[in-house]
Chain A
Amino acid sequence: MAKYTLSINGEQKTVEADADTPMLWVLRDLLDMKGTKFGCGIAQCGACTVHMNGNAIRSCSVPVSAVGSNRITTIEGLAEKNDHPVQNAWREHDVPQCGYCQAGQIMNAAALLNRNSKPSEEDIETAMHGNLCRCGTYNKIKAAITTAASNM
C-alpha cells in the first residue's frame, strides 16, 4: 500500500491503495464516487470512462500509480452546475433507458467535443465506438451529441 495524492474534479484527494488498483475502484470504493461505472474491467465497454487532462480514458485499466499529477475529471465534476451541454442534451433527448452506461457515454462525448466541436456523423461513430449501450439507445446518443455540439 502506498499513498497517492490525486487531482480529481479540481480537488486534491489522498488515498492509500495498492499500486495496481485501477482508478475505477479508487473512485468507487475509496473515494465513494459511484458515478463512474464498472462494466467489463478490460476497457471494452466504456462504462468507466473519465477524463485525464480532458481526454477520455478507461478508468478500469489505468492503475492509480500511473495517474501522477494528471487531472482526472469524472461525471460528478464534468460541470460545476451539472449543466454541461452534453448533460443538457441528454436531458433534452431523454436518452437513457437503464442508464447504467450513460455516465461513460457522456464523458466520452464531452471529450470528443473538447477536441472536435463540430463532429460529423462518422466522427461521432468513430469516437463513440468504445462505448457499449446494451439497451441500444445509440440513435438518441447520436442525436444528443449533435445537439450538444450545436450548443457549445
Chain B
Amino acid sequence: MLGFNWGFSAEDVKALPADYRFNAFLTIAADGTVTIMSPNPEIGQNVKTSMPMVIAEELDCNWADVKVEQAPLDSENYERQVAGGSQSIRQGWTSLRTVGATARQMLIGAAAAKWGVSASSCSTSEGKVTSGSRTATYGELAQLATDQTVPENVKLKDPKDFKIIGTSRTNVDMESIVTGEPVFGMDFHREGMQHAIVMRPPAFGMKLKSYDDSATRQVTGVTDVVRFGDKIAVLSTNTWAGIKGKKALKAEWEADGTLENTTGHDRQLLSLLDKPNDKPRRNDGDVDKAFSEADEVLEKVYEAPFLPHNCMAPMNFFADVRDDKVELVGPIQTPQWTRSRVATLLNRPETDVTIDMTRMGGGFGRRLYGDFSLEAAEISSKVKKPIKVVFSREDDMAAGTYRPASKYKFRAAVKDGKLTGYHLTGAGIGGERSNFTRQDWFPAGGIENYKVESHGLASNITTGAWRAPITNFLAVAEQSFFSELAELMEVDEVKLRLDILERAKSNPVGKDISYEPEKMIGVIKLAAEKANWSQPEAGVSKGFSCYYSHNTYVAEVADVIMKDGTPTIDKMTVAVDCGIVVNPEAAINQVQGGVVDGIGHALFGDFSFVNGVPQATNFDKYRLIRMKEAPKVEVNFVKSFNDPTGLGEPSLPPAGGALANALAKATGTRVYTIPFVKGQIKIE
C-alpha cells in the first residue's frame, strides 16, 4: 500500500501560490492543471505514465490537464518506492485509486458548500463538478476543496465506468526522449561536478595489491586519483579524460580467494542434480514408487549460464557528500534500501541522505543493487566534491550481480499412457538455501506423485535478480520438457498441459498450490485459438509454452519456418491474463519486449568465466538480439475486470520454451542448453 500524508505546513502552501495541494500525490492549480507525483522508479516499465493514470481516473479529470512529475524518495509520504517484481501497479492499485477518489470527493464537498446543495446532488466529469444547472471546474474549486475535511472510505468507480484506464496514453516522457532532453541519470550534471571512472578488480577472487598512478595524473583533465577498498577512482573534468586516465593506471592484483571457472561450476552443478536433498521443497504422493512402476521414464537435463543484465545505460550515479547533507541523484530501482546502506557506509543518520530518481536507461534487476550509488557516495566523501560515477560498458559487464548459472533435471514417469510421476531437481549458483524452483506453481497439484528439490552452490561471483528471476530459465526448461514428454506420450502438447491443469483445478494433489489453474487454462485456450493451433499450416512449425509468474498468466506459440535450411522465427502469438490492462498500447510494448528479451537470451545468452575473469565485456563478444532476429509478436489480452497484476516480467519466461519446442519440430533437434546457438541450431 502507498501511504498518504494529509498534513502540509502553511509554508508549503505559500510556496505554491497557484497550486492547491490535496496530498503528497496531487496538486490542482487555479487554471485546472493537475500535477501528479509518480511515486515509483521508472525503468521502462512505464509506471510514470500508468500510476498517474490510475489517480487521474478516480479524480475524474481530463488526462490532457495532467502534468506528471517524478517523486523523490520520501518514505513519509509514499510506500514501496521500488521497481521490482512487476508489482508497482498491482500493489499500488487500491491506494492510487483512493488518492484520486478522495480528492474528487473533496472537490464535490467544496462545490456543495459553495452552492448550498447536497454532495449527493453533485456529479463529476472531465475535471468539472456539476449540480443541476451549476458547473465549476476543479481549478475553481481547488482552494476551497483543500480546506475540506479529508473524507474516509470514499467510493471507488465501477471498473466498467473507467474512461482513462483501458485507453492508450502516450509515455509522459515521450517529448524528452524523442528530442534528446537530459532525463537519464547519465545525463545529470551539476556545476563543479567531477567524473569518476573506477578501476575494479579484474577477476572475482582478486584484490588490489598496489598501483602506480603517475601516468594517470599526467592526463589532461584528470584531477585526482583515490583508492577506496580494492578499487581506484580516477577523477576528471570530463568523461573521456577519466577513461584515458584509467587506461594509464598501472595496478597489480593478487588472489584473495578461489579463481573460479565455468567448467568447474558445470561439473559441480551436474553432480548436485544427482544428489537427493533431505528437505524437498514439495513432495506429494510417492515419487519413487511411481518411477519404479513406470512403463516409460523421460529424464532430461537443461543448462543455462550466468547472464549480465546489459542495461543500455551503463551504471552511473551522482553523489555530493557534504557536512550538512548527502545528496544522491540517479537511476536506482531501490532508493529506500540504498539510502539506508549509504547512511550506514558513511556513518550518517538516514535523515541526512536524499535521493532523487532519474529515468533509468533500463533496469532488468541490475539497478536493484545500488553498488554504484555506494561507490559514488564513498568517492564523494573522500574527495569532498560532487562527483558522478560512470561505468564503461566493460565495467558494467564485468561488475557482477549476474543471473546465476543454473541447471535442472526433469524426470517424468508414464504408466498406461498416463503421467504418474514428476521429479524436478534444480541447482544453481547461490547460497545453500537458495531456491531454484517454484515448487507450488504449475504443474503442482496436477500430478499424483510429485517431488521438487533444489540445491545452491556457493561462489564468489556475485549474482542477483535478473528480469523474472529463476523463472527466466526454469520456465524454458520446464516447458521444453513438457512438450518433449507429450511427444513421448503421443498426445498433443496443449492437451497434456490442459489435462494436468484440469486435475489441479478439480481435485488438486497435496497442499495448497499458489496459482489458479482456471486462469492458466484460459490463456492456453486463447493462445491456441489465436495461433490456429488445431489447424497446422504447411511449412510452419509451432511450439507451445505457458507460464505463471508475477501474478500473471501467459501462454505463447512460436511459429518457426525454415529458410534455406536455417530456422527463422516468424511470429510469436501471446495470450496474457493480467487483469485490467491500464494502458493497452504500452502494455503491448511490455509484452513484446519481454518475449523478444526471452527469445534473445535463449538464443544468444552466453557468459562464462576463466579464473574468475568474465570472458565477454562488450557487445562485440556478447551477442544481444537485434531487429532482424526479433519476430513479430502478436499480443492478446484476456478481457478482465479483475485488479491488475504484473506485466513487466511475465511474458519473458515462456518465450524460450515455445521457441525450443518449435525449433525441435522445424529442425529435428532438441536444445537443452542456453544459448541455443551453441548447439546445432544455427541462426544467421
Tell me if A146 counts as interface (CB < 8 A to partner B).
no
- Shortest Cβ gap from A86 to chain B (Å): 9
- Contact between B586 and A141, CB atoms less than 8 A apart: no
The chain A residue with its CB closest to the CB of B179 is: A82
Query: Residue A35 at the B interface, CB < 8 A?
Result: yes
Task: Digitize A21-44: 1 where CB-to-B-CB distance is under 8 Å, 0 elsewhere.
Answer: 110010011101111111111101
Q: What is the bound-complex CA distance between A28 and B239, given in angstroms?
A: 9
CA distance A25 to B240 in the complex (A): 6
Chain B contacts of A131 at CB under 8 A?
626-627
Evaluate whether A91 and B179 lie within 8 angstroms (CB atoms) in the complex, with A25-B240, A97-B45 already known.
no
User: Would A140 and B620 count as touching, CB distance under 8 A?
Assistant: no
Q: For the complex formed, measure the closest distance between the CB of A43 and the CB atoms of chain B, giving whole angstroms.
A: 9
> Taking the complex as formed, is B628 at the interface, i.e. its CB lies under 8 A from any CB of chain A?
yes
Q: Are A25 and B170 in contact (CB under 8 A)?
A: no
Let me know if A134 and B186 touch, CB within 8 A: no
Residues of A within 8 A of B241 (CB): 18
B337 within 8 A of A: no
Query: Are A137 and B240 CB-contacts (below 8 A) given A35-B180, A99-B173?
Result: no
Q: Which of B173, B175, B180 contacts A103 (CB 8 A)?
A: B180
Residues of B within 8 A of A39 (CB): 312-314, 393
> Could you tell me how many residues of chain B have their Cβ less than 8 Å away from some Cβ of chain A?
66
Q: Which one of B178, B590, B594, B618 lies within 8 Å of A90 (CB-CB)?
A: B178
Given A47-B312, A91-B178; A129-B240 close (CB under 8 Å): no
A134 vs B177: C-alpha distance when bound (angstroms): 16
B659 to chain A, nearest CB (A): 14
- CB A26 to nearest CB in B, in angstroms, measures 8
Which one of A18, A37, A40, A126 lies within 8 Å of B361 (CB-CB)?
Answer: A37
Shortest Cβ distance from A36 into B: residue: B180
Chain B residues positioned under 8 Å from A124 (CB to CB): 627
As a 0/1 sequence over residues 88 to 127 of chain A, the CB contacts with chain B under 8 angstroms (1 = contact) are 0011001111111111001000000000000000001110
Residues in A with CB closer than 8 Å to B46 are 97
The reply on A149 being an interface residue by CB < 8 A is no
Chain A residues with CB below 8 A from B362, complex form: 98, 100, 134-135
Decide yes or no whether A62 CB sits under 8 A from chain B. Answer: no
Interface hit among B32-40, B410-418, B595-603, B666-674:
B595-603
Task: Return the contact of A44 from the options B364, B618, B630 (Cβ within 8 A).
Answer: B618
Which of B170, B176, B626 neighbours the largest number of chain A CB atoms within 10 Å of its CB? B626
- Separation of A3 and B228 alpha carbons in the complex (Å): 36
Residues of A within 8 A of B619 (CB): 40, 42, 44-45, 132
In the complex, B12 has a CB within 8 A of chain A: no
Shortest distance from the beta carbon of A42 to any chain B beta carbon, whole Å: 6
Query: Which of B189, B362, B594 counts the most chain A CB atoms within 10 A?
Result: B362
State in angstroms the CA–CA spacing of A138 and B170 once bound together: 18
CB distance from B548 to the nearest CB of A (A): 21
> In the complex, which residues of chain B have a beta carbon less than 8 angstroms from the beta carbon of A41?
243, 392-393, 618
For A44, give the chain B residue with the smallest CB separation.
B619
| Distance to closest chain A CB from B168 (angstroms) | 7
In the bound complex, residues from chain A placing their C-beta under 8 Å from that of B189 are 32, 34
Residues on B with C-beta less than 8 A from A90 are 174, 177-178
A75 at the interface (CB under 8 A from B): yes
Please, which residues of chain B bring their CB within 8 A of the CB of A99? 44, 171, 173, 176-177, 183-184, 359, 361
A129 and B630 contacting across the interface, CB-CB below 8 Å: no
Are A135 and B44 in contact, CB atoms less than 8 angstroms apart? yes
B592 within 8 A of A: yes
B238 in contact (CB, < 8 A): yes
Contact yes or no, A82 B312, CB < 8 A:
no
Complex CA–CA separation, A49 to B593 (angstroms): 22
Tell me if A142 is interfacial: C-beta within 8 Å of chain B: yes
Q: Please, how many angstroms separate the alpha-carbon atoms of A97 and B589 in the complex?
A: 7
CA of A124 to CA of B628 in the docked complex: distance in angstroms?
A: 9
Q: Which residues on B sit within 8 Å (CB–CB) of A129?
A: 626-628
Please, which residue of chain B has its CB at the minimum distance from the CB of A105?
B627
Q: Known: A18-B220, A40-B619, A76-B179. Contact between A125 and B627, CB under 8 A? A: yes
- A134 contacts B624, C-beta separation under 8 Å: yes
Contacts of A137 in B (CB 8 A): 589, 592-593
User: Which residues from B are CB-within-8-Å of A91?
Assistant: 170, 174, 178
Given known contacts A29-B240, A98-B44, A139-B633, A35 and B310 CB-to-CB distance under 8 angstroms? no
Highest count of chain B CB atoms <10 Å: which of A39, A75, A124:
A39
For B648, give the chain A residue with the smallest CB separation.
Answer: A97
* Chain B 146-193 residues near chain A, CB threshold 8 A: 168, 170-171, 173-184, 186-187, 189
Collect the chain A residues with CB atoms within 8 Å of residue B359's CB.
Answer: 98-99
Closest partner residue, chain B, to A92 (CB atom): B170
Closest residue on chain B to residue A129 by CB atoms: B626
Chain A 7-23 interface mask (CB, 8 Å, partner B; 1/0) = 00000000000101110
Please report which residues of chain B, range 212-265, place their CB below 8 angstroms from some CB of chain A when the two chains form the complex: 220, 238-241, 243-244
Contact for A87 among B45, B178, B181, B628, CB less than 8 A: B178
Q: Is the CB of A138 within 8 A of B393?
A: no
The yes or no answer to B585 lying at the interface (CB within 8 A) is yes
| Docked pose: A99 CA to B170 CA in angstroms | 13
Q: Which residues of B contact A101 (CB under 8 A)?
A: 312, 361
Q: Is B119 an interface residue (CB 8 A)?
A: no
A25-B240, A42-B620, A135-B44 as given contacts; A96 in contact with B186, CB under 8 Å? no
Are B179 and A44 in touch, CB under 8 angstroms?
no
Give the distance to chain B from A3, nearest Cβ to Cβ, in Å.
14
Q: Which residue of B lies closest to A64 (CB)?
A: B240
B311 touches A (CB below 8 Å): yes
A136 in the interface (beta carbon within 8 A):
yes
CB atoms of A103 and B177 under 8 A apart = yes
B360 close to chain A: CB less than 8 A: yes
Across the two chains, which residue of chain A brings its CB closest to B632? A139
Q: B239 to A136, Cβ gap below 8 A?
A: no
The B310-359 residues at the A interface (CB cut-off 8 A) are 310-314, 359
Given contacts A44-B619, A94-B585, contact A136 B596 (CB under 8 A): yes
Query: What are 16 A-B contacts with C-beta separation under 8 Å?
Result: A29-B195, A29-B239, A35-B179, A39-B313, A45-B393, A96-B177, A98-B312, A99-B359, A100-B362, A103-B177, A103-B180, A128-B626, A129-B626, A132-B624, A134-B624, A135-B593
List 19 additional contacts besides A103-B180, A132-B619, A135-B312; criterion CB under 8 Å.
Answer: A20-B244, A28-B239, A29-B240, A34-B181, A35-B181, A38-B390, A96-B44, A96-B177, A98-B363, A100-B311, A100-B312, A125-B627, A126-B628, A128-B626, A132-B312, A136-B595, A137-B592, A137-B593, A140-B589
The 3 tightest CB contacts between A and B, nearest first, are A35-B180, A98-B44, A136-B596
Q: Which residues of A contact B (CB under 8 A)?
A: 1, 18, 20-22, 25, 28-30, 32-42, 44-45, 47, 74-76, 82, 87, 90-91, 94-103, 106, 124-126, 128-129, 131-142
